[in-house]
Structure 1
């Protein structure tokens, strides 16, 4: 059974079941092929028409994306000033290309000016954190930004509810923490994939060309280790994983022995899911992706 499951996992990871699903080999290196940065606010992925930008190792976040944190937002097209106000009445006024912002009417200096991208005001993430009082974390593995209000806390019970789709969406909406030096991200690799054991949301492995094995415990997603395997170069590993790790026999894979399910992106703004039913028949699903969390689909029979 393990050979069947690991073979299925490898086949999906290498795109053998879906022509639009990319291989683990690094892709085009042009700027247009850099994956957009996703934002998770208080545990929810945010749908954005303008994604955060990375400029000279500095991250700029669209203020408008923070509306889900209880902020009200307005933009004056004449003065080109954006105003953000929290539920306590504190407000922030920011102009694009200006290092001067105003908090409650008092001028404050920004180290780096805000930017304008397609009519949206983007500000340095450190400035958002310090001036509006949010906790901000950048996860380097998936290139995600996590923004939480002061009173937000993750409820671990959600991982063990009957609604597996909601539980798995909550699991991938947690930042992946590491206590080891991670492997370098593959240039140009855009598509993501998650594999969960059937019936569970508290453990998964993430694949973007590099396998990252994750366990969710006490409300935190902890990376056990990483593995990069490509036919023409030596395997690489980090954390509690060996470069010679076997997807058949390694203890990390034991949880995935029985009917694993795989969720993945296609390059046409859709998401796919795959698993084997009780008769060992391959089942494939597909759905439109409007927001990143749509990658996790609803499956039958508590899978």
Structure 2
């Protein structure tokens, strides 16, 4: 395997011998290059024309995104009151710049009020969803928000279905849990790259400047450990310092080859693998939603 070059923008070529990795090249990141926060509801990535906003450790989403959560909403421009209702008929009334909301007409205090940003009404997602019966989890590794209804549970059979594309989409739609102090997220690092063993969806590693090795056990995505791409002495979890990406036991699932999916950072995604003739194959596709990063590949790869 070629030496992995640290950096931030993936070069449009892949070294795909066995468990090879996409190359990256250093560049200066700007504010627009910071990856937006993605939202996953009941195992599905949500498409939003305006991505969530983090303000003082509170996450805000545009009210029109609430329809994707199964919530109905309306906004009264005269009173500047947003009304959000769940399928059971419980509702919230939230005023812009007011910390007092009303659940079924009873006052309830908010930590942060709704905001008006450039004509868009943004509401605090944790307050809204938990008040109306949802569970919320923020994953710090990818900075994703996971929202589940109380009756939702992940079906582990999804990981072992014949449709590998759907299985891998289900895999990356699980929050990554870690029982160790993680290495953190590199500031400004926008790109995500997932590597799966050929024919499998129940284990993968994520490269976003840090390698995060993940196994899915009993329907939960568990981070085994992490390795900093630019400095292999920087590790966390069950990863040895200066581990070899060629020979370490953690890479055993990839010994028979892997497939790589990554964001080109231009509205497209690329998949790469080595075919039976030992030739590299690259496939590009449009990304309309985050899960489009996972493509359908031939020959059960």
Query: In the TM superposition, what is the alpha-carbon distance from 1:9 to its structure 2 partner?
Result: 7.9
Secondary structure at 1:285's aligned position in 2?
Answer: strand
| Distance change (3 Å), C-alpha of 1:14 and 1:255 | farther
**1: distance between equivalents of 2:168 and 2:8?**
19
| Distance change (3 Å), C-alpha of 1:138 and 1:70 | same
Q: 1:107-256, aligned counterparts within 5 Å? A: 107-230=107-230, 235-256=233-254
How far does the alpha carbon of each residue in 1:18-43 deviate from its partner, in whole angstroms, 9 at most, with x for none? 49x88375743x54332210000110
Matching residue of 1:48 = 48
TM-score (norm 1): 0.89
**2: distance between equivalents of 1:40 and 1:17?**
29
**2: distance between equivalents of 1:274 and 1:109?**
50
8 Å Cα contact 2:58/2:112 also seen in 1? no
8 Å Cα contact 1:181/1:239 also seen in 2? yes
Secondary structure at 1:47's aligned position in 2?
Answer: coil
**2: distance between equivalents of 1:117 and 1:133?**
27
8 Å Cα contact 1:192/1:206 also seen in 2? yes
User: What residue ranges of structure 2 are gaps of 5+ in the alignment?
Assistant: 15-21
| Distance change (3 Å), C-alpha of 1:9 and 1:172 | farther
Count of aligned positions? 294
TM-score (norm 2): 0.90
**2: distance between equivalents of 1:203 and 1:42?**
20
Matching residue of 2:58 = 58
User: What residue ranges of structure 1 are gaps of 5+ in the alignment?
Assistant: none
**2: distance between equivalents of 1:24 and 1:153?**
40
1:259 is the counterpart of 2:254:
no
